[in-house]
Amino acid sequence: MIFSLPSLQAQAADEVRRIDSSQSFAQLAERLDAAVVANKMVVVTRASASKGAASRGVSIPGNLVVGVYRNDYAVRMLEASVAAGIEAPLRFYLTENADGSTRLSWATPSSTFAPYASPALDEMAQELDAVFAAIARDATE
């Protein structure tokens, strides 16, 4: 069965949070890792277009997607909605600006999971909203 969730894209676009930082790309990446651990979550994926480009001899501004989750949340998510499993892990996006400053962005978990229309998933997502906001605050302060 194929289905479309056009509201997901529109809603997620409205619920993306961004924090600008004067930290260097490397500093913010390191602080993000520490903030994830301090908030009792786990980095489960990491993808960097800038590292990939560098391996080909191409230089682009720093770019890093960090997937963050934890198994107890994964189990709760799947109990509430197997279809929602495609959203895990939730992600932070770290980008480097031309002036050397950085930006940390993330879609709120509540906006990510809203289209699945599950009260149990909505409850969990609200918990994760607070966790992700704390991680971002800790990383950027």
Where residue 60 sits, what CATH number does that domain have?
A: 3.30.310.70
Q: Considering its fold, how many domains does the chain have in total?
A: 1
Residue 84 maps to a domain: yes
> Domain for residue 25, yes or no?
yes
What pLDDT, on a 0 to 100 scale, did the predictor assign at position 131? 98
Q: What is the mean pLDDT of residues 2-23?
A: 66
Digit-coded pLDDT (tens) for 56-107: 999 999 999 999 999 999 999 999 999 999 999 999 999 999 999 999 999 9
Write down the pLDDT at residue 4: 44
| pLDDT band at residue 7 under the 50/70/90 scheme | very low
In the predicted model, is pLDDT for residue 117 greater than 60?
yes
Query: Which is nearest to 114 in space by CA: 89, 137, 73, 80?
Result: 80
* Alpha-carbon separation of residue 113 from 4, 32, 69 (angstroms): 14, 23, 14
pLDDT > 50? residue 11: no
Angle formed by the axes of helices 119-140 and 71-80, nearest 10°: 150
Which is higher by pLDDT, 3 or 108?
Answer: 108
Q: Quick check: is 2 in a domain?
A: no
pLDDT at 3 over 50: no
Mean pLDDT of the chain: 92
Asked whether residue 4 is domain-assigned, the answer is no
DSSP 117: -
Classify residue 121: in a domain, yes or no: yes
11 occurs within a structural domain: no
Tell me, yes or no, whether 27 lies in a domain.
yes
In a domain, 20, yes or no: yes
Strand order in the sheet with 102-107: 16-21, 102-107, 90-96, 63-69, 42-47
Range of the domain at 121: 16-140
